[in-house]
Amino acid sequence: MSRYPLANVHPEAKIGNNVIIEPFATVQNDVEIGDGTWIGPNAVIMEGARIGKDCKIFPGAVISGIPQDLKFKGEKTTTEIGDRSTIRECVTINRGTVDKYKTVVGADCLIMAYAHLGHDCLVGNHCILGNAVQLAGHVIIDDFAIFGGACAVQQFSKIGAHAYIGGGSLVRKDVPPYTKAAREPLSYAGINTVGLRRRGFTSEKINEIQEIYRFIFLKGLNNSKAIDLVEKEIAASTERDYILDFIRNSERGIMKGYGGND
């Protein structure tokens, strides 16, 4: 570990090999930091933080602060950050409550400056949260989801894998996988074709996903009828079943279709 003399590191914190802790950073007790991670100046790593290998925590970030929840009674909870994730300037990530006992950011994520992740959020791998994205508590985000800057996400919302949320969006409903979401109120804006191609989805698979969402969002059907038709008309696949399970299990309901259809 390369610890500068002006860094404040608790003697019982568990620090891996080749970790750099810059001046004026604070690392409290009950913290674990993996090999090769860099902690920038004035970052604060609070009790319960579990930071993986080769992460970068930029100046002013506060990791594992207590939840902004009046029901929190000091229970032992954690904030977990996966390997190779980057947390930019002034990000705040609160640790969990008795709901999940942890807040999680997966591996290979980029959380840009001034973002906030509330207690008990579960963020998957390879996700990007733009500048000033605000997640209320209990938000679940699956792998490869991307948020433009200044999005605000209501508590208990769910975002599917490979979804793209346009900057400045207010997310009050669940966003199904592979879609783009924009407008106010938040609505279907097509599928995330560019992102899917970048991640190796074939043209045939992209066309299949588009056809599924034509039933869900573009034919004026309610969700139950659309799901029934998709099951009849489109052969089972991993992507089809994931989409249908996501919609069936949505407790908040999914975003509107183009033109305002439910």
- Active site residue: 83, 108, 120, 143, which one? 120
The burial class, CB within 10 Å (0-12 / 13-18 / 19+), for 138 is: buried
The question of whether 36 is a catalytic residue gets the answer: no
* Structure tokens given for 74: 């000091």
How many beta carbons lie within 10 A of that of residue 207, not counting itself? Answer: 11
Measure the CA–CA gap between 44 and 81, rounded to whole angstroms: 14
How many beta carbons lie within 10 A of that of residue 210, not counting itself? Answer: 14
- Active site residue: 34, 96, 116, 119, which one? 119
The question of whether 116 is a catalytic residue gets the answer: no
The question of whether 245 is a catalytic residue gets the answer: no
Q: Is the dihedral of CA 251, 252, 257, 259 positive or negative?
A: positive
Q: What is the DSSP letter of 257?
A: P
- Active site residue: 137, 148, 160, 257, which one? 137
Query: Are the C-beta atoms of residues 218 and 258 closer than 8 Å to each other?
Result: yes
* Structure tokens given for 20: 């750099």
Query: Mind telling me the catalytic residues?
Result: 119-120, 137
